[in-house]
Amino acid sequence: MSAPDWLVQIAGILVALAAAPLFMGWVNKCRAWLQNRSAPSLLLPYRAIRKLFHKDAVIARNASPLFRLAPYIVFGSMLTAAAVVPALGTRLPFTRAADAIALVGLFAVARMFLSLAAMDIGTAFGTLGARREMMIGFLAEPALLMVIFVASLISATTALPAISDHIATQEFAIYPSLAFTGVAFVLVLLAENARIPVDNPATHLELTMIHEAMLLEYSARHLALMEWAAALKLLNYACIGFALFIPWGVATTHTPLALGVAVLALAAKLVLAGVGLAVIETISAKLRVFRVPEFLAVAFLFAVLGLLVHLLLGA
Amino acid sequence: MTYAFASPLSWLLALLTLWGVIGLAGLLRPGNIAFVARTLFPLGALCGLAIAAIAAFSIGAPTEQAVLAIGLPDLPFHMRRDALASVFLFLLGAASAGVSIFSAGYFRSGEGAPAGLLCLLYHLFLASMGFVLLADDAYSFMVAWETMAVSSYFLVTTQHRIPDIRRAGFIYLLIAHVGAISILLSFGVMQGGSWRFTFDAMRGAELSPAWAAIAFLLALFGFGAKAGLTPLHVWLPEAHPAAPSPVSALMSGVMLKTAVYGILRVTFDLLGQPQWTWGLVPLVLGLFTALYGVVFAAAQTDMKRLLAYSSIENIGIMFTALGLSIVFLGVGMSAVAALALIALLYHALNHAFMKSLLFLGTGAVLHATGERNLGRLGGLIHRMPWVAWLTLVGALAIAGLPPLNGFVSEWLLLQAFLFAHQVPKTFVNMLLPLGAAMLVLAAALAGYVMVKFYGVIFLGQPRESALRNAHDAGVRERIGLAWLALGCVLLGLLPNQVIAHLQIVTRQLGFASLPISDAPWWLLEPLAEREASYAPLVFLAAILLIVVLTTYGVRLFYHERVRQADPWDCGFGRLDSRMQDTAEGFGQPIRRLFQPFFFMRRELPGPRDAKPRYSIEIGDRIWRGLYEPLGGLVQRIANSVAWLQQGRISAYLLYSFITLVVLLALML
């Protein structure tokens, strides 16, 4: 690996770090527009994070060191995932550190620490959130694996950069199997990122919270890191989706031109993805918790359909 | 036959014998805890370490055989050490070293059987497991196998004055013997008419495909009973909570693996050429076992029962890998079959470390609090930081999180599953990927189980006031836990080095080599052309680096002021420990989602109850649907022939006379 590769890698990490709150802000803005509310500033997530870093951390008396360690680990694993996902270029030093399955494992690390931290204070809300989060996690993972399976059948690898390369460099063709799995992936993305219809990121209504319930006891810098990590997770999922389904524009060499194109392509995709996410969140209603398994079963079925279409029709 | 004294096999035999001697030494002063626990158990741990070291270094050494002049006349014990045996001997030695050093601090006076007797049974148990792995004829195998079963039975029933424990021991012994009969029959089929019961004769025997399949199924039944394959799993959740924690650790961590070793020995070595259709049986049973085990684990309220069900899940994963390996081997995809088998061996090693660690963790908690019920624990991370943090390693590892060890074997198995669509059998190639989804479901559920296990025991508020006096584990216990945790970390961080050793086994069994790429030592890339890679060290380094940088960054740019306060809890206030989820509460989503698995009896309070009561009882449908009718049938048959038993000597003399007459009539 040469020096420019590392530069691009570090630049990519910094871009992800900076773009994550912005993407969150963009989704919120689109949602507000669609719902006829006056939209918050795009920069609001940054201001919120900055404000939180300035505040004094208030920590429950019976918190254990695990509680204070968890935000850093959650943030660390999300940032590591951001380094691994081929968002800008496919030939970066870090992309070989994990294939798609290992990436799912990295997300599981964050989820597990988040859930453990939520149980640490011993509040009813925390354990409730942890239990629901783990439930959604284990239901979503099989569907996500089937998505990866189909993509890996088409490109004979589970390495994300290789999958992107394969699809991007091929003659343009529409794979019906990828269409099915694309739907499945979007459903998994909604569930894993605590979006409507599975969870409502804006709610603090006690009995419907999942993700927010786990963060209730966090404040100040710890909360800031958790929020930032959540934004990074959404960005990572979006970028995994781009790598699997619409990889066009990703830099395969590290010339300034290719990188410029890659940045623009990523920005365009994120803008569109934000609009799409806002539309989904506006037109659907939140599901009851025990309807979520059905929701994720649909995702799983779509992925299996994609698999069967690929195996039976070779498409 | 002569053998050089310096050969690894002779050293291993000597060390196994030494285990027996250490055990016998316990009888010298059976009541003296200081002598037995402080001297003999650490010696046993050293012996285990030596076995592990010799086994690890001799994996690549050529296969050796020896004939011991003990046993019956004309039936000497044949011993053989090859790469497969070495891997499992390493597992036995390394895991038992941690358990033994923990036991040195664990066993105290006044707990059931005298310490010296425990010491004898414990070391006999260890040595017999070693002889199972080295045995090279059916006779010595069965002797070692039965010694293992009987010694572990006595260990399970250490506290034999409690009726439930006697019952648990009985179920264990019963299923162990049903399994042993099946194994014996399997050996009987495999000798193939030569009536020679050495494994060498079995390797050479020419069996028709039907007889080979029968031998395989008998072995699967027999070893499956020992391993806890559904529906033969019922003894695990009974025996594990009954046994002292170090014994549970050994049984779950090591003894179950001897059954895995047995089925591998029979399938890939003694029978040689398995048909691909055989693989479907362990594959389907394994997947079902994995899901069944983990779903029940999620619903448990007793921490050791929870871990026992989790062991059932892991055995399911191993048998899934076995089935997959047989299918791939049968259709000629030898390299992928090797990958699946390596995943199996890797998982066996991983499970030995992480499950022993978790069982020892529960042992420390049990000692500190006297409580096994999750509903009466909580908040122990404050009182027992050593145990809590070391157990966390095991919990994260068994949940299959990178960069720890559980993830590596599951990753390898999934990589093997990704080739399933290439199996040239229609429908099978479409159904196999669904097996991968089921495996992932089980693995993800294991995460749920571990959050419950760890969160309810160590996090939150103590659910009983007595827990505030809990004390941390002693030095020896900490060393034992730390050793096993270290194993979990190292097995996770150095996958290439482990796989290089495991590959010796698959090559010796006749599998093709993996096309490992020339990737750097820290990057795992088992199949070069697929580019799928995983670098645990990079994961660990990156996460640690970011944690450190963020901590210092926050300190540098902002501040690190912290204010302690009461928990916020949405402003409700008056939080008490009973508001946390109980173990039942945490299992509720699972009970609801997997309702058909459970037999459930619930008692819900009515609206006008003055003293509302809520209780829930969860049963195993297999126990009610299979074992109870079977037990009833046996009982009825026994009753219907009971009239034979007259209790008068004249009647028995008459029976003997009739038997003699019948036999004479048959002979003439």
Across the range B144-167, mean pLDDT stands at 90
- Of A61, A105, A219, nearest to B407 by CB-CB distance is A105
Element (H or E) spanning A103, and its range? helix A100-120
B433/B352: higher pLDDT: B352
- Residue B473 is predicted with a pLDDT of 80
Domain ranges of chain A: 3-313
SS3 A121: coil
A105 touches chain B (CB under 8 A): yes
Q: What is the spatial distance between Cα B303 and Cα A98, in angstroms, rounded to a whole number?
A: 34
- Residue B320 is predicted with a pLDDT of 94
Q: Do B551 and A130 touch (CB under 8 A)?
A: no
Which residue from A164, A159, A138, A95 is spatially nearest to A292, judged by alpha carbons? Answer: A138
Before B403, cis peptide (omega within 30)?
yes
Please work out, in degrees rounded to the nearest 5, the angle formed at the alpha carbon of residue A141 by the alpha carbons of B543 and B454: 60
* In contact, A220 and A140? CB cutoff 8 Å: no
A152 touches chain B (CB under 8 A): yes
What six digits make up the tokens of B457? 């025991």
Quick: pLDDT tens for A245-273: 888 888 777 788 888 888 898 999 999 99
Q: Do B564 and A60 touch (CB under 8 A)?
A: yes
Q: Do B418 and A152 touch (CB under 8 A)?
A: yes
Whether pLDDT at B407 is above 50: yes
B653 touches chain A (CB under 8 A): no
- Of B534, B551, B592, nearest to A99 by CB-CB distance is B534
Q: Do B400 and A105 touch (CB under 8 A)?
A: yes
Q: What is the spatial distance between Cα B345 and Cα B341, in angstroms, rounded to a whole number?
A: 6
pLDDT tier, B472 (very low <50, low <70, confident <90, very high otherwise): confident
Quick: pLDDT tens for A215-246: 888 988 899 999 999 999 999 999 999 988 88
Quick: pLDDT tens for B620-646: 888 888 888 998 999 999 999 888 887
Helix A124-155, helix A100-120: angle, nearest 10: 180
Which residues in chain B have their CB less than 8 angstroms from residue A58's CB? 562-565, 568
B557 touches chain A (CB under 8 A): yes
- Residue B1 is predicted with a pLDDT of 42
* In contact, B52 and B94? CB cutoff 8 Å: yes
- Residue A206 is predicted with a pLDDT of 65
Domain ranges of chain B: 597-667
Across the range B159-179, mean pLDDT stands at 90
What six digits make up the tokens of A171? 């003659």
Which residue from A252, A247, A231, A259 is spatially nearest to A7, judged by alpha carbons? Answer: A259
* In contact, B252 and B310? CB cutoff 8 Å: no
Across the range B166-173, mean pLDDT stands at 92
- Residue B285 is predicted with a pLDDT of 94
- Residue A1 is predicted with a pLDDT of 53
- Residue A93 is predicted with a pLDDT of 78
Positive or negative: CA dihedral B216, B220, B221, B222:
positive
Question: Chain B: nearest CA to A47, how far in angstroms?
Answer: 15
Across the range B15-24, mean pLDDT stands at 92
Q: Do B567 and A217 touch (CB under 8 A)?
A: yes
Q: Do B567 and A123 touch (CB under 8 A)?
A: yes
pLDDT tier, B517 (very low <50, low <70, confident <90, very high otherwise): low
Tally of CB atoms within 10 A around B240: 28
Q: What is the spatial distance between Cα A237 and Cα A231, in angstroms, rounded to a whole number?
A: 10
A97 touches chain B (CB under 8 A): yes
* In contact, A96 and A137? CB cutoff 8 Å: no
- Of all residues in chain A, the one with the smallest CA distance to B575 is A123
Tens digit of pLDDT per residue, chain A (315 long)? 567 778 888 888 898 999 999 999 999 999 999 988 888 898 999 999 999 988 888 898 888 999 999 999 999 999 999 988 888 877 777 877 888 888 899 999 999 999 999 999 888 888 888 999 999 999 999 999 889 888 888 888 888 888 888 887 777 677 788 889 999 999 999 999 888 888 887 776 667 788 888 888 898 889 999 999 999 999 999 999 998 888 888 877 778 888 888 889 899 999 999 999 999 988 988 888 888 899 999 999 999 998 888 888 876
- Of B443, B459, B566, nearest to A64 by CB-CB distance is B459
DSSP structure string for B83-98: HHHHHHHHHHHHHHHH
Q: Do B561 and A79 touch (CB under 8 A)?
A: no
Which residues in chain A have their CB less than 8 angstroms from residue B379's CB? 62, 122
* In contact, B378 and A62? CB cutoff 8 Å: no
Helix A220-245, helix A3-34: angle, nearest 10: 100
- Of A72, A120, A159, nearest to B459 by CB-CB distance is A120
* In contact, A86 and A265? CB cutoff 8 Å: no
Across the range B93-104, mean pLDDT stands at 92
Q: Do A137 and B447 touch (CB under 8 A)?
A: yes
Which of A68, A80, A136, A308 has the highest number of chain B CBs within 10 A, making it the mutation to test binding with B? A80
Q: Do B455 and A109 touch (CB under 8 A)?
A: no
Which residues in chain B have their CB less than 8 angstroms from residue A156's CB? 529-530
Provide the CA B121 distance to its chain's centre, in angstroms. 19
Across the range B86-96, mean pLDDT stands at 94
Quick: pLDDT tens for B246-279: 999 999 999 999 999 999 999 998 887 888 899 9
The residues that bridge with A103 in the sheet, in sequence order, are: none
Whether pLDDT at B163 is above 50: yes
Quick: pLDDT tens for B574-604: 778 788 888 888 888 888 888 888 888 888 8
Q: Do B402 and A149 touch (CB under 8 A)?
A: no
- Residue B76 is predicted with a pLDDT of 86
* In contact, B501 and B87? CB cutoff 8 Å: yes
Which residue from B563, B484, B577, B618 is spatially nearest to A60, judged by alpha carbons? Answer: B563
Which of A78, A92, A134 has the highest number of chain B CBs within 10 A, making it the mutation to test binding with B? A134
- Residue B2 is predicted with a pLDDT of 46
Before B433, cis peptide (omega within 30)?
no
With a threshold of 0.90, tell me whether the complex ipTM lies above it. yes
